[in-house]
Chains A and B, each alone.
Chain A
């Protein structure tokens, strides 16, 4: 390996920073703790330099420079808070606002709007554009989940550049010229690329809106939780936005190694099941041929009795969406209790949908967030064989596979979030309610072997507990060492 090039030293608002050669001033400023206001710049897109918001003063430069297109040089002195720089940015805000409707009270972006934020930060209170009408264009339906509200558009072109250079499906453009300009869509195209939803996140204002999230919540009502997408095995980092303990939106969380700044539309829409109302809310045990609700002590005692009273083969049929902690605990429980253990999972398959402009980023055909984690722990993909083995096993443990077509002569313990109608798990001896991914903390291993943590976004319903906790309690009760982590 060649030695990295020496760092470039510069000063931003008096703060010295050292950054690699080729770094843009706007990025170097972040290191100095300075956010230079900007609209068109986005680290995941090619530089456009058009909004002119990030004008800063650079010593020895004859005029103000845009921080997003200026590369650092040794000894550079950047000043973002001088009068000329502030005046220039204030004038850009004024220009942007003359045609921007002040409809923040009904705009979904309010509260997370960069125009709102920077006007609040350094804009002026009044307008000098009084008496002239603002530009008006009707709302357009761009695609399955995207609405375009041209009146709010500040023509930063992030959406155009995303479709051109990242999705590589150039269906958007800037149409017309001057102040008549708007974002146009190819007349025969729809914004239905599998990654098109990112334009909504990229839009710094409320011009591109998600139909799914339309008028669902105000930004300030949302709680945000770091999570991992369960849509496929890519392991995109996401934020779960919850309002009153309901997941209402999924947004990408930047991770340059996994998903950069983006998530696909499949992942974006893959949250409604997290809010299901038909959840198992209490432990159930079979009594007189029917499942009856009991408390945890009784249910756990029942499972202990089953495990202590059986020997021989045990089979675990698990979801590849279960956390590595739960999968490890299940394995430890069954093997620790002395069974000859097999574990297997099945994967739902779908279409592959790569994001052309980013290497190694795609909606993967394997719709399983933790298949790699399960494999690492010794679970196999040979689900058919495991189902066969289950028939003669002494104990079968099903982990959150509600539609699992299991048949067994042994005892059936089901840990799950829901009970399917007519499903085999309704025949279980014990049903233990568990939390879903939004309700617990855990780890997934993505297809490239990266372990990634997700966090609890909302409480589990009723008496449901994380599967790892349930299995750990059982192991402790059985006296297995290191049963809980």
Chain B
């Protein structure tokens, strides 16, 4: 990861090469390291040719959905009749995820360069980088980097703006993010229309994650074949990915590995496994919105889009949350649903009411007041909250509940049977 520790030998360091190297933050320092060469190269290319390289590389969206990036770019209107926009989703708020933060802290120019290349590919004249409101340090660094790069005039006719969020998780949802940029309440929009048809200000827009765009200059410079070759398992998952490991491990932090890397090695070798004297009990592999894996499942998982799905979860944002045998899964799941209840935008009925209700039931169980029917009720509510709303916040709240009850039912039942000391939940 390069910061704060030296990279682990099993890492494949591409995006994180300059993490911890403060000189790489400056424009001069970035250029000295070969920065902005890819942009200069891209600007000489025909926009569709740039898209083709990215398409060929197999790069997929690193924000969570894993949609092929090059394909997404081709959705923009072929014939340009209106202004095009690029939005960069730097509203990294998914619990357990902190990769984009490090990219912006250490390699702000890498992001700016990737964004400018993407803007050229989709023929966008304006780029909005929507940065999470709580990211004070990354904001300052990005601001400074943008000022330096602008002064150097590297972006040509492309204009990049930074837009600061105000602390809403839901603004990381792409259409809510666009509403927020427009100055509206950050509510997800109904799709269709999709952003490529009517995005920010109702105009054709592509939205990409920070990590996705940060990979683009590397792909251009070193070629699609090189990137495609970075693959340990399924050929549909190529390149490297940063995994943010947190929770009950000895060395939490970001680790960059080639897709297809065993989760077991990430947990045990890089992150050092559980604290001394404890064992890992469970792990959420892709940020708080994806189903929980047991240790057995996790140790058998390969970290790529298909590998994690095969184990019943999702790669998501790559935020790996680890629980050891001292963790109270009921409490942990309650903390997650409470987060979603707090962050629900309140548009859709199921989400607005369901996230809060789910949390209340879990709090009741923790307080020793649970009823035998509560687990069935939770599962039924989760079913009613899945696949029925505008965005997936509601589904995300349901995922850990369903997988938690399925895999750790005994812990819930212990509370229900009065065999566990009740937890007072503030």
Same assembly? yes
Instruction: Tell me the B321-349 residues at the A interface (CB within 8 Å).
Output: 341-349
Residue numbers in A under 8 Å from B349 (CB-CB) = 50-53, 92, 95-96, 154-155
A178-B356 CB under 8 A given contacts A50-B390, A55-B388 = yes
How near does chain B come to A175, taking the closest CB pair, in angstroms? 9
29 A-B contacts (beta carbon < 8 Å): A49-B190, A50-B348, A50-B349, A51-B348, A52-B349, A52-B388, A52-B389, A53-B349, A55-B388, A69-B190, A91-B384, A91-B388, A95-B357, A96-B353, A98-B353, A132-B357, A154-B349, A155-B349, A155-B352, A157-B347, A177-B170, A177-B342, A178-B346, A178-B352, A179-B344, A179-B346, A179-B356, A180-B346, A181-B346
Chain B residues within an 8 Å CB radius of A69: 190
Measured CB to CB, the closest approach of chain A to B186, in angstroms, equals 9
CB pair A88–B357 under 8 Å, yes or no, is no
Q: Which residues of A contact B354 (CB under 8 A)?
A: 95
Cβ of B111 under 8 Å from chain A: no
0/1 per residue, B355-377, Cβ < 8 Å to A?
Answer: 11100100010000000000001
Contact between B341 and A178, CB atoms less than 8 A apart:
yes
Give every chain A residue within 8 A of B168 (Cβ-Cβ): 177
Interface, chain B (partner A; CB < 8 A): 168, 170, 185, 190, 341-350, 352-357, 360, 364, 377, 384, 387-390
Q: Mark A50-84, 1 if CB is under 8 A from B, else 0.
A: 11110100000001101001000000000000000
**What are the 10 A-B residue pairs with the smallest beta carbon separation, nearest first?**
A181-B346, A91-B384, A179-B356, A95-B353, A178-B344, A50-B347, A49-B190, A63-B387, A95-B349, A69-B190
Question: Max chain B CB contacts within 10 Å: which of A50, A55, A66, A128?
Answer: A50
Q: Determine if B350 and A177 form an interchain contact, defined as CB atoms under 8 angstroms apart.
A: no
Q: How large is the interface on A (under 10, 10 to 19, 20 to 34, 35 or more residues)?
A: 35 or more
The distance in angstroms between the C-alpha atoms of A48 and B353, with both chains bound, is: 18
**Smallest Cβ-Cβ distance to A71: which chain B residue:** B192
A225 at the interface (CB under 8 A from B): no
The residues of B that contact A132 with a CB separation of less than 8 Å are: 357, 360
User: Which residues of B lie under 8 Å from residue A423 when comparing CB positions?
Assistant: none
Given A69-B190, A88-B384; A177-B343 close (CB under 8 Å): yes
Complex formed: what's the CA distance from A173 to B190 in Å?
Answer: 19
Q: Write the nearest CB–CB distance from B106 to chain A, whole angstroms.
A: 33
Q: Is A484 an interface residue (CB 8 A)?
A: no
Closest CB-CB distance, A205 to chain B, in whole Å?
13
Q: Is A35 an interface residue (CB 8 A)?
A: no
Shortest CB-to-CB span from B101 to chain A, Å, is 23
Using CB atoms, name the residue of chain A closest to B341: A178
A129 on the B face (CB < 8 A) = yes
The docked-state distance in angstroms from the alpha carbon of A461 to that of B57 is 86
The B contact surface, by secondary structure, is helix
Q: A69-B190, A174-B346 are in contact. Are A179 and B353 (CB under 8 A)?
A: yes
User: With A128-B377, A173-B185, A177-B343 as given contacts, are A52 and B348 in contact (CB-CB < 8 Å)?
Assistant: yes
Residues on A with C-beta less than 8 A from B347 are: 48, 50, 155, 157
Q: Per a CB cutoff under 8 Å, which of B170, B346, B350, B364 touches A52?
A: B350
Let me know if A88 and B190 touch, CB within 8 A. Answer: no
Asked if A88 and B377 sit within 8 Å, CB to CB, the answer is no
Quick check: B185 and A178 within 8 Å, CB to CB?
no
Task: Mark each residue of chain A from 168 to 190: 1 if its CB lies under 8 Å from any CB of chain B, else 0.
Answer: 00000110111111000000000
Residue of B nearest to A181 (CB): B346
With A and B bound together, what is the CA distance between A48 and B390 in angstroms? 10
A34 interface contact, C-beta 8 A: no
The CA of A179 and the CA of B357, in the complex, are separated in Å by 9
* A384 within 8 A of partner (CB): no
Write out the residue numbers on chain A whose beta carbons fall within 8 Å of the beta carbon of B348: 50-52
Chain B residues, CB < 8 A from A214 = none
Tell me the minimal C-beta distance from B244 to chain A in angstroms: 25
Q: A99 on the interface (CB 8 Å rule)?
A: yes
Nearest-neighbour CB distance to chain A for B364, whole angstroms, equals 8
Which B residues touch A91, using CB under 8 A?
Answer: 350, 384, 388
Q: How far is the CB of A91 from chain B (nearest CB, A)?
A: 4
Give the nearest-CB partner of A95 in chain B: B353
Interface of A is mostly: loop
Supposing A128-B377, A174-B185 touch, asked if A99 and B353 sit within 8 A by C-beta, the answer is: yes
- Which residue of chain B has the shortest Cβ distance to A135 in the bound complex? B356
A51 to B341, CA, bound (A): 17
Judge whether A47 is part of the interface by a CB distance below 8 angstroms.
yes
Partner of B355, one of A49, A155, A178: A178
Closest Cβ of chain A to B183, distance in Å, is 12
Measured CB to CB, the closest approach of chain A to B313, in angstroms, equals 20
Given that A52-B348, A154-B349, A178-B352 are contacting pairs, would A64 and B384 also be in contact in the complex, using a CB cutoff of 8 Å? no
A131–B365 Cα gap in the complex (Å)?
Answer: 13
CB of B270, distance to nearest CB on chain A (Å)? 36
Among A48, A129, A178, residue most surrounded by chain B Cβ atoms (within 10 Å):
A178
A178 cross-chain contacts in B, Cβ below 8 A: 341-344, 346, 352, 355-356
Q: Which residues of B contact A157 (CB under 8 A)?
A: 347
Taking A95-B353, A98-B357, A132-B360 as contacts, is the C-beta distance between A177 and B344 under 8 angstroms? yes
Question: Which of B353, B360, B389, B390 neighbours the largest number of chain A CB atoms within 10 Å of its CB?
Answer: B353
Residues of chain B contacted by A66 (CB below 8 angstroms): 190
Which A residues are CB-close (under 8 A) to B353?
A: 95-96, 98-99, 179
Are B346 and A95 in contact, with the CB atoms below 8 A? no
A181 / chain B contacts, CB cutoff of 8 Å: 346, 352
* CB-defined contacts of B388 to chain A, threshold 8 Å: 52, 55, 63-64, 88, 91
State A128–B381 Cα separation when bound (angstroms): 10
Q: In the complex, what's the smallest C-beta–C-beta distance from B169 to chain A, in angstroms?
A: 9
CB of B107 to closest CB in A, whole Å = 33
The residue on A at minimum CB distance from B169 is A177
Known pairs A50-B347, A51-B349 / 8 extra A-B pairs, C-beta < 8 Å: A55-B388, A63-B387, A66-B190, A69-B190, A132-B360, A157-B347, A177-B345, A181-B346
- Contact string, A446-457, partner B, CB cutoff 8 A, digits 1/0? 000000000000
A49 to B360, CA, bound (A): 27
Q: Give B167 Cβ to nearest chain A Cβ, in Å.
A: 11
Q: By the criterion CB–CB under 8 Å, are B190 and A47 in contact?
A: yes
| B349 → A minimal CB distance (Å) | 5
In whole angstroms, what is the CA distance A404 to B389 when docked?
63
Question: In the assembled complex, how far is the CB of residue B14 from the closest CB belonging to chain A, in whole angstroms?
Answer: 36
Check A179 against B350 for contact (C-beta < 8 Å).
Answer: no
Find chain A residues with CB under 8 A from B341 CB.
Answer: 178-179
Residues of chain A with a CB closer than 8 A to B390's CB: 49-50
Residue of A63, A92, A95, A155 with most partner-chain B CB within 10 A: A95
CA distance A369 to B350 in the complex (A): 47
Give the residue name and chain of the B residue nearest to A100 (CB).
B353
A92, B350: Cβ atoms closer than 8 Å: yes
Residue of B nearest to A157 (CB): B347
| Residue pair B350, A64 in contact (C-beta under 8 Å) | no
CB nearest neighbor in B for A92: B349
